[in-house]
Amino acid sequence: MELLVKKAQKGDAEAFITLIEENKQSMYKVARGFLNNDEDIADAISETVLDCYEKIHTLKQSAYFKTWMIRILINNCKDLIRKQRGDIPIEKVPEIENRASESYDGFTGFRELVAPLREKDQSIFTLHYVYGLKVREIAACMGMKENTVTSRLKRGREMLRQEITAVH
């Protein structure tokens, strides 16, 4: 992959397309962990591809292309969420019972499970448990120290354990 990144940095469009093709499934999984519908996911991924294409020359270490790209994707997802929060009138927010009629996917249940956590902790849980990133990779994506990620995972698991225990 490093060779492809170096070619893309030198302006090879085919190499860049190959990089995106190799990582499109990963991008979809990460975006799906943050966003609720396919249109928003497509918007975030398209924006990320454009951003990466325009800024690939700024990537210092080609070995970190995927981490760099995922970081850009996370930021685009968060920007989209922020924009939507300000733009949606309260009348347009769907009722909870309407969500039960949506087709089930694995992320819906996961989102409901981590809902009690803070937004940043939800992101960490999504990257770790849905996308399968290691603590080191999450730290790089989120711009945090590895110890911070580890402690947030531990604290979040404990909080969710208490939530589940209280329900049963």
The predicted model gives 22-48 an average pLDDT of 89
**Average pLDDT of the chain to the nearest whole number:** 80
Q: How far is CA 156 from the centre of its chain?
A: 18
The predicted model gives 122-140 an average pLDDT of 82
Instruction: Write down the domain spans for the chain.
Output: 1-93, 104-168
The predicted model gives 150-156 an average pLDDT of 91
Inform me whether the pLDDT recorded for 138 exceeds 70.
yes
- pLDDT reported for residue 90: 39
The predicted model gives 106-135 an average pLDDT of 78
Q: What global pTM score does this model have?
A: 0.60
- pLDDT reported for residue 62: 87
Inform me whether the pLDDT recorded for 89 exceeds 70.
no
Q: Rounded to whole angstroms, how far apart are CA atoms 60 and 55?
A: 11
The predicted model gives 38-47 an average pLDDT of 92
The predicted model gives 43-54 an average pLDDT of 93
For the domain bounded by 104-168, which CATH number is listed? 1.10.10.10
Q: Rounded to whole angstroms, how far apart are CA atoms 52 and 58?
A: 9
pLDDT band for position 33 (cuts 50, 70, 90): confident
Inform me whether the pLDDT recorded for 97 exceeds 50.
no
- pLDDT reported for residue 125: 85
- pLDDT reported for residue 107: 56
Q: Rounded to whole angstroms, how far apart are CA atoms 28 and 135?
A: 20
CB atoms within 10 A of CB 92: 7
For the domain bounded by 1-93, which CATH number is listed? 1.10.1740.10
Q: How far is CA 91 from the centre of its chain?
A: 28
Identity of the amino acid at 167: V
3-state SS string for the chain: CHHHHHHHHCCCHHHHHHHHHHHHHHHHHHHHHHCCCHHHHHHHHHHHHHHHHHHHHHCCCHHHHHHHHHHHHHHHHHHHHHHHHHHCCHHHCCCHHHHHCCCCCHHHHHHHHHCCCCHHHHHHHHHHHHCCCCHHHHHHHHCCCHHHHHHHHHHHHHHHHHHHHHHC
